[in-house]
Structure 1
Amino acid sequence: MNYTAPAQRVDILRELLDPVPGQSTPARDGTQLRALGELGIAFLHQLREDMAACEDPRLALELASMAESLGHESTRLRILAADRLAASNAHLMQAEEFDALRQNPPDINTPATFCTGRPLFGTPAQLLASWVGIPLASARRRVADAADLIARRDATGTSLPPRFTHLAALFADPQQNPEPVLETSAKIAKHEPPDTSFDGETTAPTLRHHDGRAIEEHAAQVLSTATSVPEARRHINELVATAAEDPETSDPVALRRGLFRLPERSTLTREYLLRVSTLEAERLESFLAHANNPRTKAGQAARRNPNPGAEAGTDPTAADAATPDFLPEGAEAQRWEDEPAAEATVAERGLNALLALLTFDLRSQRATGDAQTLTSRQPTITSQAPRLLLPSDSGANYPAIRPEVIVHLRIEDLRDLAAGDARTAHGAKLPPGQLRQLLCDANLLPAIFNGRGELLDYGRSQRIVPDKLKRAVLARDRGCLVPGCTEPPERLEFHHIDPWHKGGRTCLSNLGPGCLGHHLDYDSGRIKLIFRDGLPWVILPPHLDPEQKPRRNTYWDDLAA
C-alpha cells in the first residue's frame, strides 16, 4: 500500500480503528493488522519528514509529547507480543508457516499448522529473538516481563494472574510511563524464586516489606506518586535492598562474591565483573579515593598511564634503554620522541593502582595502634585494611596505599549486634553479619561524647595532626563542614581554626575538616570557621549566604539516616 497524501492515511487509520459493525476488527484480521502497521509506520515516517524543518517551538513540544506517548504504547505492545507468542505456542509452528508469514499476512480463516516432531525453536524467546532480530537475552527478558506483568499460564494453557498484580495494573495504565515499571519488575524479579505456575504450583511474591506487604505493592505506590523517575528509582532501590538483606528472601546467587569473566566484545579490551560484599566494597572505595588524590604520591603515580611498551610499574627509562634501536649509526636525527601519555581518567587511576599491586608480589603489614573507634552518642568505627606495599626492586618508587573503613553506628546497634547495622563513610549500609565481622577484626578504643556531641578527651597537641586526632575529628564531623560538599574522608584536610603560627593548638576544639578547595577558602578567610556548643560551624561568604548564619553540612547525617 502506498498512500501519498497524509490526509488519506488518517482516513484509512480511522476506518481501521473504527470498523463497520459486524466486520472483524484489525486486531482479529491478519490482513487488516498488517495494513494498520504499514499505514502507521508510513504516516509516522511522513510526519517525521514534515517536522524536520519545523521552526515553531510549540509544534516541537507537541511532537516531543506525541513521540513519548507513542514510545510508551510501543513498549506495552512489545511485552504484549511476547505474551501472545507464549500463549499461542507460536514457536511450535511448522517452518512453512514462518516462510509464508514473511511474504503474506496471516489468514486466520485457516488454522495454523504445528510440528509433529522437533520444532525449529525450543522456546518462545528463541522465536522472538530470531523473528524480530534482538538478542536472546532481551527476548527472554520480554517473555519473563510478560509473565510478571500480563499473565502466566499453567500446563493446560489456562491463563493465570500475573505475578506482580499491582505493577501489572500500573503497566496497563495509559497515563503511566511503562519503562520504570518494567525496570522495577525486573529488579524485584531478581530476588524472587523461579515461577512454578506452569508446574501447577502458583507462586506469590516473597520479597516483602517489614509491614508484611509485598515489595511490588510498595513499588507500585511509589511509582504512582513520585514526582520524578530518579526519585522513584532511589526509593525503590532502598526498598528492594532492605528487603533483600533478609536471609529468608535474599537470592544466594545475587549475593555470590567473585571475579567473573564477561563475554569478549572487543579484540582490544577484556571485561570482568567484580562482585564483593559491602564491607569489601568499602575498602575498595577507600582504595579508589586514595588513588584519585592528587596531593599524595600514590595519587600522582596512579595518574600516570604506563608506557604501552613497558611492563606496568617498571621504570620508563629502564624500559627505553632495553628497547632495541634499529636505526643505523649517524641517524640520530631521525629519532623522534614518543608522545606523552594522556593523564589517566578517574577509572584508569583506580585500575593503574590495582594493576600495580597485581604486577608485583604483595607484602602486607597489619596496622598497629588505633584500628577502631567507638562512641556512645554516634559511635564511629575506623578499620585499617592491611597496608599494601609495592616493592621498588625495579627502580620505581610506588608509595603505599592504606585503605580505611570508617563506620558510623548507634550505641543501641552496638548493644544488639544480632540486629544492628551501620553506615560507612561512603554511604554503604553494613548488615549485621558484616558489622560483626568488622568488630571481630579490629581493636576498639572508646571516644566518649557529651549530649551536645562534643568529644571530651582524645589526643594531645602537636603541630601535625596525628592519626588519632584525625579519626576523632571525622567521628565528630564525618566530612567537610561546608554544606553540600561530598568529598570522601580520604580527600579531607584538617584546618587549625586558630592558626598554629599564632599560638593555636592542635586539639579537637581547634580543628575543622575540609576538602582541598574549601581548606583554601578557610585559609584565605572567604569561609569563616567558628566553634559553637563544642562543634565547628562555617559562615559562608555574603554572596552565598546573605544571612551570615553559622551552618553545618547535613549531607553526612542524611546519609546515615
Structure 2
Amino acid sequence: MRTLAAFASDGLDGLHQSLAPSTTEGTDTTVSVDHVDDPFRLLAILNPMLTSLLDDLAAAAGPSPVRAVLLALLTEDLARTIGRAQIIAAGMLEDSDAHTLKEEPLTQVHRIHTHLNEFIEGEIALPADQRYSPGTKMLFKNGTDVAKDQLHLSHAQAKHRITTRDLLVPRRGFNGATIEPRFGQLATVFHDGTADPQQVANAARRMATLQPGIAAQPNPQETAARVEEQVAESLVARNQSGTGQLFKLIEAQLDAGALERSEAQMEANFGLQYKGKQIRGFIWEICTGVEGHELLTSVSDQLANPHSQFGNPVDVATARAKEPTATAQPELPIPDFADAPDAPAPIPAWAIDPNTPPDQIPVEGFTNIAKTDPGLIELPGPVPLPGESLAEARQREKGRSLLQYFLDSVRRFSDGESDRTLPKPPMLEMIVTIPLDTLIGTSDQPGVTSHNHLVSPGFARKLAATANVIPAVLGTASQPLDLGRKQRFFSRAQRRAMLLRDKGCINPGCTMAAHRCEANHIQPWYLGGETNLSNSALLCPICHASFHAGHFKIVVIDSIPYVLQNRALDPEQRPRRNWIFHPKAAIAA
C-alpha cells in the first residue's frame, strides 16, 4: 500500500509539470529558477485550489453526516498544518534578518502577493535580496517588528510566534550548528499534527514558566521529563480546559508554598461591602476564600438543581402526614405571645401584612442584625495592616464581620431546626479531600475541595478539624477509606464517597458536576450487582442513558471506575478517567 508521502510527492510533481517556466528577469545571479521559485509558486496555487475544493466538497457533502464528519476532520488537519506553518514562517523572518530588507524588494514582494496569477504563470519572478548596511536606519527593528507590520499582528502575537519557534522548532545557530527545540516531547506533538499548534504553543510557554520550580526539585531532569510527558499526553487526549487544570495541579506540586502565599494574599481582601446604587439595584460585593466559596457554591448548586426541594415551601399538613411518628406525638400549639412574657414579641402591627397567617408572623429581632447580646464581650478594635489607615481598617473589619455573619447565617439555616412553613434548607456540606500523608504532615500534597479547588496542606489540616467540614482521607491509590455498605439504594455516606472519588460524571470530557449526577450501579442491582463503591459510578442523566445504550463501558481498576469509550471516540481503547475532574490520573496504568 502506498504511503501518504508518496501520494503527496506525485501530486506535487503533477502540479510542477503544469507550471510554465519562470523568467529570470530581475535576478543578478545565474540560478536554477525551478529550484528557487517553483516551491513558492506551488504554495501560491494551493490556496485557490483548496478554496475551490472546499467549496465543492461542502456542496457535494449534502446531508450526509459521514461526509460532514470527514470534512470537519480534514479541515481541522489543514488548520493545524497552517498554524504550524505560521510559526515556522515567523521564525524564518527572524533567522533571515528580514528586518534588513530594503524598501524596493519589499514593494515587489507585495506586488507579487497581489498578482499571484502572474507569479504562478512565470511572468514575474522573485526580486533579488537587497539589505540595508549595518548602522543605517532600517524599516524594521527586528523579525518581530516585521511580523507585526507585514502580517497585521499585535506585538504580543508576533512575539508569541517567534518565541514558540524557539521552543518547539529546530533551527540553525549563527555558526551553522542545529539547535534542538527546548521541549522535545511537545515538539513531537507540534509537528505530527495530533494537537492544536496554538494550544501546544501556549503549553510550551507555560512549561517555560515552570522551570524555576522544576530546578528546585531533587532531580530536576527527571521531573522536567515527567512533567513534559504529562503535558504532551494531555494536549493529545484533552481540550484546553483539561490541560489548564493539569498545569494548576503541577504548579501546586512544584511549589508547596504557592497555595499558602495565595491564601495569605487573598485573606486581606475578604469582606462584604456595599458598592452603591445603580439602575439595576443596590450593589454589594463579596470577596471570600475557599471555605466561603465552597459554601456559596453549594447553595448555588442546590438552587440550580431541578431535583432539589431547596427554596420550595413545604406544606405542613402533607409533611407531617408522611412522617412515621407524626401520630405518636401531639402537635405543638402556636405560641401565644401574651401568655409567654419571656418569648420575643411580635413585630409592630404596621409592619405585618394583613394576610399573613398568625403562625407565620415574624417576631421582633428576626431581621434585626444590629441587636446586641448583653452577654457578649466587647472585642478590641481592628489592627491596621501596613500602609492602612484606622478608618480603612475599620471598613475592612466591617466587611469581614458582614461576611462572617452571612456565612454563619447560611450555616445556621442549614444545621438548625427551621420552621416547616419556611422553604426547605439545603444540605450544605463542605468536603475536602486530603491525602493521608498530608493529614499526618509527611507530605505537601494539596487538598482538593468538592468543587475541584486546591487548598494548601496547612489549610487542609485546619479544615479537617472544623465543624461543618467533612474531611475525606484518601489511601495511596486515591480511594476513599472506610465508606460504604450493602443495600438496595446507595446510602448518603456512599454517595458522599462517590463524590469524593469521582467528583462529577466519570465520562471523559463531561463537565457535569457531582450534584447534577446520578449514582449508578455498574452491574445492575437486579442482575446481582451489589450496592457498594466498587460497583458504583457517578453519571449525569445524558451519559447515564448513553451507558445503558451501550455507547461506552465502565471497567473497575483498583476500586476506581474507568470509562472505555467506543473505537470511534478512542481508537487506542485505553480505560480513562474524566480529565475534567482528575487532571493527573486520566489513563489507567
TM (norm. structure 2) is 0.48
TM (norm. structure 1) is 0.50
Larger Rg: 2
Higher relative contact order (CA 8 A, sep 6+): 2
